[in-house]
Amino acid sequence: MRSVAGKIALVVGGNGGVGAATAAELAKAGATVAVTFRRGERDEPGAAALKAGLEGRGYAAFEADVADTASLKTLRGALESRFGRVDILVHASGFTKAIPHADLDALDDAFIDHMFEVNWRGQFATMRELAPLLKASDDALAVFISSIAASNGAGSNIAYCAAKAGTETLVKSLARALAPSIRVMGVSPGVVDTGFVPGRGANFNDKISQTIPLRRVATADDVADAILACATHLTYATGTTLVVDGGRLL
């Protein structure tokens, strides 16, 4: 097992359920962790608590918006000044909304554009800006959070499914383009017990869990464990997306 002790890890979207769990897991494993958050998000109280906790241990939190390239350039400068490099980059930012797939009119152009702006272009733009800091590492890894919606087309809305399919293609393309200096991996969860999809709560999770072979939905920690494994165990893998869905795709 490769250690992440002493590594500089950045979790983009570190105030969300999966992002916060990943930041905590990496910190527990010995990495120096920075997170980004976006002011005004539904998780802003969590962001404030996470920021205080991280900075209390000498880590860092930066305000950044993946849909705003200027803020990503500012983020790059701040990271370069403080750390000089990034060893592990986790792309955990994103959003969605439940829209019935048959309701084509509800999926309007503005929503589709924003979906891809945040969930695909934002991930690419973050990678584009931070690639030089990853190349400054001698053991760089970038991990993108996907979804099994990319494979089964049954996610929260059609645009989200398409964006996540784009994420998995992005993983393959970047892995090829950036090798051997940067490994690129994807982690693809099924349903996760967080507030990521507004309006879905315990009743939805209880119902869905009966359709999953392992009979429960994932926790944020389940996904964080898979992300950590990309850094510590799957060290000869790149361009691959790891499915963490309890068997739901079966």
Name the phi and psi angles at 140, rounded to 5.
Answer: -90, 145
Q: How far apart (Å, rounded) are the C-alpha atoms in residues 115 and 6?
A: 35
Q: If you search the block for the tokens 């784009």, which residue do you land on?
A: 166
For residues 206 and 164, the answer to whether their CB atoms sit within 8 Å is no
Segments of 52-167 assigned E as strands? 60-63, 88-91, 140-145
Summarised one tens digit per residue, pLDDT across range 113-167 is 999 999 999 999 999 999 999 999 999 999 999 999 999 999 889 999 999 999 9
Q: Name residue, tokens 């790059």.
A: 76
Average pLDDT over every residue of 65-93 = 96
The CA-atom distances, in angstroms, between 18 and each of 105, 145, 189, 207 are 31, 9, 10, 21
pLDDT above 90 (res 209): no
Q: 224 is written with which tokens?
A: 């964080």
Q: What is the band of 244 on the pLDDT scale with cuts at 50, 70, 90? A: very high
Token duo for residue 223: 């996904």
Residues known to be catalytic:
160
Q: Which of 17-21, 67-71, 103-107, 121-125 shows the lowest per-residue confidence on average (mean pLDDT)?
A: 17-21
